[in-house]
Structure 1
Amino acid sequence: MYKYIILDMDGTLLNSKKEISEQDKNVVCQLKDEGIRIVLASGRHFHEMQRYFKELHLEDNDYVICCDGQYIYNVAGKQVWNACFLTPQDIDDITTRVDNINTSLLIVTDQKNYLLVESFASRVYCLAKNLFRRWKNIKIINGAKAGKVTRIEKIKINCNNINHAVAAALSEYYNVNEIEGSYELLHKNVSKYSALCKLQRLEYIDLDDAVYIGDDYNDKECFGNLKHCVAMENAPVEVRSMAMFVTENNDNLGVSVALKKIFEVEE
């Protein structure tokens, strides 16, 4: 019998309205109350996850993985671990490898997001959009100012701006995930799976006794290394092919359907 449930959030536990359905919530809470430990593993920042903790009966000593493995927090808000950050040198390296003056990089940090734009015309366009507040909390910068950015969690590049071969080449140096139309580049050592291994070393979790449910490329390493993984129907084919089975999609109670099957939960 499994002792732990590891849940991705967007596309898995959360439906398209960014809500947890009542049935999914009830099944997760029932299993939590029966002694199953719940771990959330998300690309979100900690503060973006907090609203869901009470809904799932999570306690202060439960753990969550944030920013695709950049951080581990307990639910009380104490950061217990953080992985390596990207550096301004990585920005230079990625810019050189992409080699397209019209390609902008979205630099995500723990405090603010920056849009690196080298082309003058593109910078004017971006500034105009920012002026009309279509983008919030994004500062437009050039390469000189990018050299001063610190605590970089990931760098995003629109999939339309680079070809697949370039993205594949970048994956030799970075952890590259294709998420919602963008390539997200993280430090090579940052991933949900690496964070889960850290939790295991902290003796909080035994991954052999855990079931993982996810839906996207940032879950792929977990699917490749964990024994018991379930894919959402809305996951890419490549991810679904690695699962022990495929459940319903995130708008059709996929999490509760899977958990009822695994734990034989009664209606």
Structure 2
Amino acid sequence: MIKLIAIDLDGTLLTNDKTISERNQVILKKAKEQGVKVVLCTGRPLNSVVGHLETLGLNDEGDYAVTFNGGLIQRNDTGEIVAKEVMSYEDAKTLYELTYPLGLPLDVVQGSTVMTVQPEPEENQSLYYTLNPLLNYVDTNLAELKEKSDFNKMVCTLEPAIIEEKMPLIPASYHEHYNIVRSGEYIFEFLPKKVSKAYGLKLLGELLNIKPEEMMALGDEENDLAMIEYVGLGVAMANGSQQIKEAAQYVTLTNEEDGVAHAVEKFVLA
């Protein structure tokens, strides 16, 4: 019996125009009415998905979200942080020293603030603001970052062809120290090594006394892979990557065809 549904946003729950279809809204509200926990699992901070939580009626006491790709678990009604894993100034320094010579811009994310580390590579400016326009963007440098702490994640956002060229150049030692994942066509992220959406669901499941086999997860990209493999029922979107489809137990319709509603109706409401 499914007691918790974990849902990615972009390319999964959201249509290409970044909205939630009426059918997805109806079916997810029915699932919640039946006592199923509906949990948005996203790389974004909570404040940038508040509108989607309100649309789905997921802002009541007892509603939770997994944000920053598993680095943060929060209560939707109060924003209270239940669990978190963060990165340090030393991580920012290490990753800037990796990315800048590769011609990659580095954005350091702290809550709803995105700090673009200067100088940026002249040939590749960060495109992060085009993906998450609701966040607060500021320019910074390593000296200014040293005065801050507790960063949620660090990202490189640029044209897909450049990502595909540059990501393979990251030495294996960095993969051993960080969880480096592609979270969209234009973005890849550096996270604390143990952080993933599966890690976030593990902690939330322990809090709610819900076992992995009682969870269903839906996703489309590499950063969804861990949770697809962790839960009892992993569902890939038809528009998802081949890697996700091969790992999932079921492939639903696309994000433009109410694929989330189709799977929830099939496996949960039935």
TM over 0.5: yes
Tell me if structure 2 keeps the 8 A contact 1:116–1:142. Answer: yes
Match of 1:140 in 2: 139
Match of 1:199 in 2: 204
Tell me if structure 1 keeps the 8 A contact 2:212–2:230. Answer: no
Match of 1:26 in 2: 26
Instruction: Please list, as runs of the form range in 1=range in 2, the aligned pairs for 1:41-52 lying within 5 A after superposition.
Output: 41-52=41-52
The alpha carbon displacement at 1:66 in A equals: 1.3
The 3-state SS of whatever aligns with 1:257 is: helix
Are residues 1:214 and 2:215 paired? no
Percent identity over the alignment is 25
Tell me if structure 1 keeps the 8 A contact 2:155–2:189. Answer: yes
Residue by residue over 1:188-247, the C-alpha shift from the partner in whole angstroms, topping out at 9 and shown as x without a partner, is: 122211111111221342221111111111111112222210001121111111000111
- The root-mean-square deviation of aligned C-alpha atoms, in Å, is 2.7
> Measured at CA, do residues 261 and 118 of structure 1 come closer, stay the same or move farther in structure 2, by a change above 3 Å?
same
Match of 1:166 in 2: 170
Residue by residue over 1:158-206, the C-alpha shift from the partner in whole angstroms, topping out at 9 and shown as x without a partner, is: 4626341316542211111112322210111222111111112213422
The alpha carbon displacement at 1:99 in A equals: 5.8
Tell me if structure 2 keeps the 8 A contact 1:87–1:150. Answer: yes
The 3-state SS of whatever aligns with 1:90 is: helix
The alpha carbon displacement at 1:87 in A equals: 1.0
> Measured at CA, do residues 135 and 25 of structure 1 come closer, stay the same or move farther in structure 2, by a change above 3 Å?
closer
Match of 1:255 in 2: 260
Structure 2 CA distance for aligned equivalents of residues 205 and 135 of structure 1: 33
Residue by residue over 1:60-90, the C-alpha shift from the partner in whole angstroms, topping out at 9 and shown as x without a partner, is: 2121111211221122124242322111111
Instruction: Please list, as runs of the form range in 1=range in 2, the aligned pairs for 1:108-147 lying within 5 A after superposition.
Output: 108-118=109-119, 122=122, 137-147=136-146
Tell me if structure 1 keeps the 8 A contact 2:99–2:105. Answer: no
> Measured at CA, do residues 50 and 111 of structure 1 come closer, stay the same or move farther in structure 2, by a change above 3 Å?
closer
| 4+ residue runs over 6 A deviation | none
Structure 2 CA distance for aligned equivalents of residues 138 and 259 of structure 1: 36
Unaligned runs of 5+ in 1: none
> How many residues are matched?
257
The 3-state SS of whatever aligns with 1:29 is: helix
Match of 2:181 in 1: 177
Are residues 1:92 and 2:114 paired? no
Structure 1 CA distance for aligned equivalents of residues 212 and 34 of structure 2: 19
Unaligned runs of 5+ in 2: none
Structure 2 CA distance for aligned equivalents of residues 56 and 156 of structure 1: 28
Tell me if structure 1 keeps the 8 A contact 2:64–2:74. Answer: yes
Match of 1:232 in 2: 237
Structure 1 CA distance for aligned equivalents of residues 198 and 116 of structure 2: 28
Instruction: Please list, as runs of the form range in 1=range in 2, the aligned pairs for 1:1-12 lying within 5 A after superposition.
Output: 1-12=1-12
